[in-house]
Amino acid sequence: MNGINIKMSALKETFCKMGFQDVKTILATGNVIIFLSECNSCRQKLKSFIEEELSKCFHYDAHVIILNNKEIYEICAAAQTIDVPEGFHNYCLLYDDKELSPELKNLFDSVSHMPNEKLVILEAGTFWIVSKGDTLKSYFGSKVLGNKKYKNLLTSRNINTVQKVYKSMAD
């Protein structure tokens, strides 16, 4: 989570203290699953509440992305349509503001790429395909994932992690 280490047990306990029930954490990824009644109009209020509580508890500037079950399913389904060569990672770039998509596309198009590196923007999500071992060497990766401007706006997850989150939601 933003380059800091938080034990998943402590993260889960913090969400329980916030009043959430049936809290699950996924591996050591910083991903948390909570079950709520669907209330998209409450999303920003919930996001602000969670960020404030995490910031207080763990003493860092917390930023969260909230996705519902349908959105995660759509990301997983969209990922299945992308051809990912052997030896490559498929990262899903997660962000709240869909207006960020054209900016990311313009940034990607404006920089040099690793061989076969690509950015795929679909309705359900933005996917960054990069060869294994080159994630941190990629100019796009360093400009986006390593840039303070984007730190508060997006996060990346390997599609395998997103699929584990979705599977865990169904369990």
Per-residue pLDDT, 36: 65
Exposed/middle/buried for residue 127 (C-beta within 10 Å: 0-12, 13-18, 19+): buried
* Structure confidence by residue, pLDDT tens digits, 26-57: 876 667 877 665 566 688 888 899 999 999 99
Which residue is it, tokens 């500037």? 61
How crowded is residue 152: how many other Cβ atoms within 10 Å of its Cβ?
Answer: 13
pLDDT at residue 130 tops 60: yes
* Residue 1 pLDDT: 37
Mean pLDDT value of segment 105-128: 94
CB 105 within 8 A of CB 120: no
What is the Rg, in whole angstroms, of the alpha carbon atoms belonging to the chain? 16
Q: What is the pLDDT of residue 25?
A: 86
- For the question of whether the overall pTM of this predicted structure is more than 0.75, the answer is yes
Look up tokens 């299945």; give the residue.
80
Tens-digit pLDDT profile for residues 69-113? 889 999 999 999 999 999 999 999 999 888 899 999 999 999 999
Nearest to 31 by CA among 50, 59, 49, 44: 50
pLDDT at residue 168, as a whole number: 83
Average pLDDT, the chain: 87
Mean pLDDT is highest, among 77-81, 134-138, 166-170, for 77-81
Classify the C-alpha dihedral 96-99-103-105 as positive or negative: positive
pLDDT for res 2: 44
